[in-house]
Amino acid sequence: MTPPLRPTWFEIDVDAAVANLQTVRRLVGSERKIFAVVKADAYGYGSLELGRVFADHGADALAVADLADGVRLRRSGLALPILVYPNALPDAAPDVIDAGLIPTLTDLDAARAYEHAVTRVAPRRPLDVFIKVDVGLERLGVPVDHAVKLVVAVRELARLRLAGLCTHLHVPKSADPAYVEWQFSRFTTVLDTLARQGIDVPIRLAASSPLVLGYPSTYLNAVDPGRMLYGSRLPDAPAPAPLRPVFHALKSRLIEVKELTPRERFGPAAPFPIGASMRLGVIPVGMGDGFHRLNAGSVLVRGRRVPILARPSLEHTRLDLTAVPEAVVGDEVVLIGRQGTEEITLDEVAERHDIDPLALALGVGPRVGRVHVGGQASRWPDSDARAAAGA
């Protein structure tokens, strides 16, 4: 493979993702199904690549929020069930059916639209559907008080088959366990009411990452972890098992190095103070790649921290290389990650910008090449990009 035209890349640790999935399996047991959440392009790490990894290493199903993501996953050759959370209009029903996806319904009008679409698109087989119940997040889902009625009505539609009920609990930072249990009990009350009416719910899904980590009573017979698969958890959540960050490193290379001297005229108008002789370095990454929200104020060059000069521009960022006189064009620059004994951590960057560390991968711009590293990455075509980048 030829070297990348723009030497800036994002390294994603596939082995860490596998280890995190295995941690989920140890926590929930072999009898429960794992719906591995790869929404938002797998939280920025690549839904096609991570979807394949999770499928190959024990996930029972995948879950997405965007219909287009689900269609791409299916077209990539993945055969396992793919659940689509409610995020599309009913007129997208033919696309859902054609791709063999499982839609999540929240009202009877949508259910009827899917019934009609199945009649036209695939009349010979019923369509598996989930119904989402809103128990406290106040976002998407049928209200608890109307959930049983909706389930009964959907079961009367001959071309739809109830595959499961799901919910998403509101678990804020430092959540009161009683508040979490109250929401969960609202969901189980719906399940119990349906059971008394003789209605079987094959998949009962409530436990997202915070619940997998801290509330084993919510596991039911399936879980849908997201952020913990990528090595992220709520700051105050218990840690029953270690998680490994999938965000391995964000890197670039020096494309220019030059000496600067103080200006004799117009010194205050310089883009940054030049009080003495200085070595300037430039790397090809900037605001267009999200780096203005992804930097720690410094980077690593030859194992040493060097400061960023001024604010990143659209395409480039300037560095003060005065303390690294041996640095030359082509040297690797670590923006996030480890180099030698030094490290710039995700938490350091997140704290500087007051954002959730989970959002950092989402902030890496689409022009930055994704390189999936680790032993499990060797099967993917882009694994050769790491060698091409000289990483």
Residue showing tokens 């679409």: 117
pLDDT > 50? residue 390: no
In this structure, CATH architecture of domain 32-230:
Alpha-Beta Barrel (3.20)
At residue 382, the pLDDT reads 46
Q: How far is CA 49 from CA 55, 218, 371, in A?
A: 10, 29, 10
What integer pLDDT is reported at residue 120 of this predicted model?
A: 87
- pLDDT (0 to 100) of residue 387: 39
The per-residue pLDDT for 386 is 41
Domain boundaries, the chain: 32-230, 247-389
Q: What is the pLDDT of residues 5-64, one digit of tens each?
A: 789 999 999 999 999 999 999 999 999 999 999 999 999 999 999 999 999 999 999 999
Q: Scanning the structure block, which residue is given the tokens 């689409």? A: 366
pLDDT per residue over 199-241, tens digit each? 999 999 999 999 999 999 999 999 999 999 999 866 666 666 7
The topology under which CATH files domain 247-389 is Lyase, Ornithine Decarboxylase; Chain A, domain 1 (2.40.37)
pLDDT tops 80 at residue 342: yes
pTM of the model: 0.91
**122 or 127: whose pLDDT is higher?**
127
Taking 90 as the threshold, does the pLDDT of residue 335 lie above it? Answer: yes
- In this predicted structure, the answer to whether residue 383 has a pLDDT above a threshold of 90 is no
pLDDT in tens, 127-174: 999 999 999 999 999 999 999 999 999 999 999 999 999 999 999 888
Residue 324 makes CB contacts below 8 A (sequence gap 6+) with 279, 301, 302, 304, 306
Exposed (0-12), middle (13-18) or buried (19+): which is 196, by Cβ within 10 Å?
exposed
Tens of pLDDT, residues 174-196: 889 999 999 999 999 999 999 99
Is pLDDT above 90 for 103? yes
> What's the chain's average pLDDT?
90
| CA-only gyration radius of the chain, Å | 25
Confidence band for 125, pLDDT divided at 50, 70 and 90: confident
Instruction: Write the secondary structure of 319-386 as one string of H (helix), E (strand) and C (coil).
Output: EECCCCCCCCCCCEEEEEEEECCEEECHHHHHHHHCCCCCHHHHHCCCCCEEEEECHHHHHCHHHHHH
Give percent of the chain above pLDDT 90.
Answer: 80
DSSP-assigned states of every residue in 247-281: EEEEEEE--EEEEE---SSSGGGSSS---S-EEEE
Q: C-alpha 290: how far from its chain's center?
A: 16
At 100, the amino acid letter reads G
Mean pLDDT across 99-115: 96
Domains 32-230 and 247-389 share a fold: no
CB 200, CB 169: distance < 8 Å: no
Residue 254 has pLDDT above 80, yes or no: yes
Give percent above pLDDT 70 in the chain. Answer: 90
Q: How confident is the model at residue 277 (pLDDT cuts 50, 70, 90)?
A: confident
Lowest mean pLDDT among 272-276, 301-305, 386-390: 386-390
